Amino acid sequence: MAFATRTSESTTYRQNRGPLRPDIVLVLTYLTLSAIGLLMIYSATAPGLLAAGDDPAQQLKEQAIFMVIGFIVFTVVSSIDLTEVRGFIGPIYVVVIGMLVLVLTPVGDSQGIAQRWIDLGPIQFQPSELAKIAVILMLASILASSDVPLHWRTVARALVIVGVPSLLIFAQPDLGTMLVFAFVLLAMLFVGGSTIRQLGFLFVATAVGTVGVFKMDLIKEYQINRLTAFIDPGAHELSLSYNQVQSEIAIGSGGLLGKGLFEGTQTNLRFVPVQSSDFIFTAVGEQFGFVGSIIVIALFGVLLFRLLAIAGSARDRFGSLVATGIAAMFAFHVFVNIGMTIRIMPVTGLPLPFMSAGGTVFVAMSAALGLAHSVWMRRSVAPGDRRRG
């Protein structure tokens, strides 16, 4: 790997800057959310696997393996000094775009109704998860090297950077990821120093564009359903409203304190489809009730608070913007995913970070968190350093 040769140099750099101090709160929150996720995945999948005569811990084990990989990736990425690898961001972005194109070709694996996987023999992965990271890095890079307030030219470049992968992802189709891009773009431009006028323009453009997409496809309603639907490969195709109705019943019936671990009827009797991935929050809501739900949301709140703190204490604009973008991405995922399970958001197929079952997602999210953590570990030690761009 190209990064490996750089490791010794960054070690030298770090020694010059002082000791690396991990963000204990961030890491603990990350591990706690992952552990809760693992438990919820087990509670949601065990009854089905048991009924099928399989090992009830089968999916727990698979997810645990991905989590271990995720932790390693987090640790590795945390140890990379981002300023040292800025030169690679462009090529990485181009490679990811290439992968997105590849997904649309026959090489891409179509599972369920969307074509978004690349099959690499024993491993399959979704390039759109990598695309989120690549886009954040790319945006941070160009915004960090621009003047403040931003030129319209810079805004235009940012739009192109987001636009190209958006179009490719739209073709998959994966509306959820597109919306993530839009939100991340707005958040990063806002924090990165755009004028209010520019933001206003983008906001209106996004709104018009979104409405336009829906209007165009309103003629064929099933296409909207497809766009708004993310159904995990392998699951039965069931009506969207059925998903949400059952998910709502599961969470609502949890009550204040929940039905207790492994006592959820909706969960145990598998009324909620694709529960372990997109609808994992229903397992929390039903088994642990309002209190449990608020605790999970609060944990995400702590995580996001830490990410914003990292953005605020980064030693340079680039690191600050990376942390901002990652915070925005997580925030959007959490809001849209939980919102979907309680019927205030459409079904878009955005996973709940660190909790939803899924390998690529967990590893990619861990990598993203690792990027932000890397910024924290190399935050400004002296006020003078913060001025460097």
Partner 1 sequence: MTNPVRLGVLGLVIIAFFAVLGLRLWTMQVTEAQAYEDRALSNQVRIVTTPAPRGDIFDANGVKLAGTRSALAAIVDLALVDKDDRESLAQNLAAFLDTPASEVAELFEASNQGLQITIAEDLSDAQATFLLEHRESFPGVNVVPQPIRTYPLGELGAHVIGYIGRPNAEDLEREDVKGNDFVGKAGVERSYDQLLRGTEGIVEYRVDAKRKVLALESEETPTAGGNLILTIDADVQSQLQSSLRDGLIQARRLEMEERREALSDTSIPQLLAEGLERERAEAAEAAAARSEADGTTSTTGDDQESDSGSRGATPEPINIEAIDVLGALYPGLPLDTNGVCVPVQRLTIPLGGQIVLSGVEPRTVRFDAVEEVGGRFLATVTVENETESVKNNQSFASTLQVLDISEERVILYHRDKWCPVRTVGVVENPNDGSIIAMASYPDFDPTAFVDGLSQAQWDELGTVSAFQNFAVQGLYAPASTFKTLPYVLALEESYYPLDRGVGDKEVGGETAAPSEPDDAGSDTGEDVVEPEPDADPVIEPLLTDTDEYSCTGEFKFQLNDGTVQTKRDWKWPGGHGPLDLHGALQASCDLYFWDIALRLWNERSDESGIDKENLLQEYARGFGFGTATGIDLPFERDGLVPDRAWFKAEQREGSPRVRADGSWVGGDLMDFAVGQGATLTTPLQMANSLAAMVNGGTVWTPRVVDEVVDQDGNVITENPPLVARTMDLDPRTGRMLLADLQQVVNNQDRGTARSAFQNFGPGVELIGGKTGTSEIIKAPRAQHYKQVDSAFFVGVAPITNPEWVVSVVVERGGSGGRVAAPVARQVFQFLMNGEAGVTELAPGLDAD
Determine the Cα–Cα distance for residues 144 and 160; give it in Å rounded to an integer. Answer: 16
Among 86, 151, 157, 386, which residue sits at the site for partner 1 (rule: CB under 8 A)?
386
CB of 251 to partner 1, least distance (A): 6
Give the CA distances from residue 193 to residues 134, 291, 292, 380, in Å, rounded to whole numbers and listed in that order. 21, 39, 38, 20
The total of other beta-carbon atoms located within 10 Å of residue 333's CB is 23
Minimum CB distance to partner 1 smaller for 273 or for 359: 273
Among 202, 311, 368, 371, which residue sits at the site for partner 1 (rule: CB under 8 A)?
311
Determine the Cα–Cα distance for residues 117 and 233; give it in Å rounded to an integer. Answer: 10
Among 128, 172, 293, 360, which residue sits at the site for partner 1 (rule: CB under 8 A)?
293
Q: Is residue 363 involved in binding partner 1 (CB under 8 A)?
A: no
Determine the Cα–Cα distance for residues 352 and 113; give it in Å rounded to an integer. Answer: 21
CB of 340 to partner 1, least distance (A): 11
Segment 252-271, which members bind partner 1 (CB under 8 A)? 252-256, 265-266, 269-271
Determine the Cα–Cα distance for residues 282 and 272; give it in Å rounded to an integer. Answer: 8
Among 251, 361, 365, 369, which residue sits at the site for partner 1 (rule: CB under 8 A)?
251
Q: Which stretch binds partner 1 (CB under 8 A): 91-99, 125-133, 159-167, 322-330?
A: 322-330
CB of 353 to partner 1, least distance (A): 14
Among 338, 364, 367, 368, which residue sits at the site for partner 1 (rule: CB under 8 A)?
338
Determine the Cα–Cα distance for residues 119 and 116; give it in Å rounded to an integer. Answer: 10
CB of 5 to partner 1, least distance (A): 31
Distance between first and last Cα of the chain = 27
Could you tell me which residues come within 8 angstroms of residue 337 by beta carbon, excluding any fewer than 6 positions away?
A: 278, 281, 350, 351, 352, 356
Alpha-helical segments (H) within the chain: 2-17, 24-51, 58-78, 86-104, 127-144, 152-170, 175-192, 196-217, 221-228, 240-254, 265-268, 280-313, 317-341, 359-377
Determine the Cα–Cα distance for residues 250 and 232; give it in Å rounded to an integer. Answer: 19
CB of 144 to partner 1, least distance (A): 9
Minimum CB distance to partner 1 smaller for 6 or for 86: 86
Interaxial angle between packed helices 152-170 and 175-192, expressed in degrees from 0 to 180 and rounded to the nearest 10: 170
Q: Point out which residues pair with 124 in neighbouring strands.
A: 119
Segment 28-67, which members bind partner 1 (CB under 8 A)? 51
The total of other beta-carbon atoms located within 10 Å of residue 269's CB is 11
Q: Is residue 290 involved in binding partner 1 (CB under 8 A)?
A: yes
Minimum CB distance to partner 1 smaller for 156 or for 344: 344
CB of 280 to partner 1, least distance (A): 15
Segment 191-250, which members bind partner 1 (CB under 8 A)? 191-193, 236-237, 246, 248-250
Among 154, 172, 244, 320, which residue sits at the site for partner 1 (rule: CB under 8 A)?
320
Q: At 108, phi and psi to the nearest 5?
A: -65, 145
Among 37, 285, 359, 370, which residue sits at the site for partner 1 (rule: CB under 8 A)?
285
Residues at the contact surface with partner 1, assessed by CB under 8 A? 51, 187, 190-193, 236-237, 246, 248-256, 265-266, 269-273, 285, 289-290, 293-294, 297, 300-301, 304-305, 308, 311-312, 314, 316-317, 320-321, 324, 327-328, 331, 334-335, 338-339, 342, 344, 386-387, 389
